[in-house]
């Protein structure tokens, strides 16, 4: 995440969505670290989003936007079902 002068909520949500996609289900995914310090908090809602990540594991805006695409819903459903069979 690279916070620049005009970095706002939509850019933050896009970066979080990318982070979730890199850390998501799949074979041979490398470990992902989310490192965020106090100098990157340029808008107070960033803290609310991070709190949601820590308490529930999700950010509502990101999942609402991500799940609006039917292909994404189908892919995630099949991936979760397939993964559940191996657990």
Q: pLDDT digit string (tens) for 7-30? A: 888 888 888 888 877 777 667 778
Domain containing 34 equals 9-85
Nearest Cα to Cα of residue 14 among 67, 53, 65: 65
CA distances from 66 to 4, 16, 37, 44, 75 (A): 25, 11, 26, 23, 12
CB 62 within 8 A of CB 20: yes
The model's pLDDT over 36-79, given as tens digits with 9 standing for 90+, comes to 888 888 888 888 888 888 888 777 766 555 545 556 666 666 66
For residue 1, tell me if it sits in a domain. no
Given this model, what pLDDT does residue 62 score? 64
For residue 62, tell me if it sits in a domain. yes
Pairwise CA distance, residues 62 & 45, whole Å = 14
How many CB atoms neighbour CB 75 within 10 A?
12
**Number of folded domains in the chain?**
1
């Amino acid at each position: 995440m690279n916070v620049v002068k005009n970095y706002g909520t939509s850019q933050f949500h896009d970066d979080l969505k990318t982070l979730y996609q890199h850390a998501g289900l799949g074979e041979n995914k490398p470990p992902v670290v989310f490192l965020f310090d106090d100098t990157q908090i340029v808008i107070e809602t960033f803290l609310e989003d991070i709190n949601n990540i820590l308490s529930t594991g999700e950010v509502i805006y990101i999942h609402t936007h991500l799940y609006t695409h039917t292909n994404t819903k189908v892919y995630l459903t099949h991936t979760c079902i397939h993964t559940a069979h191996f657990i």
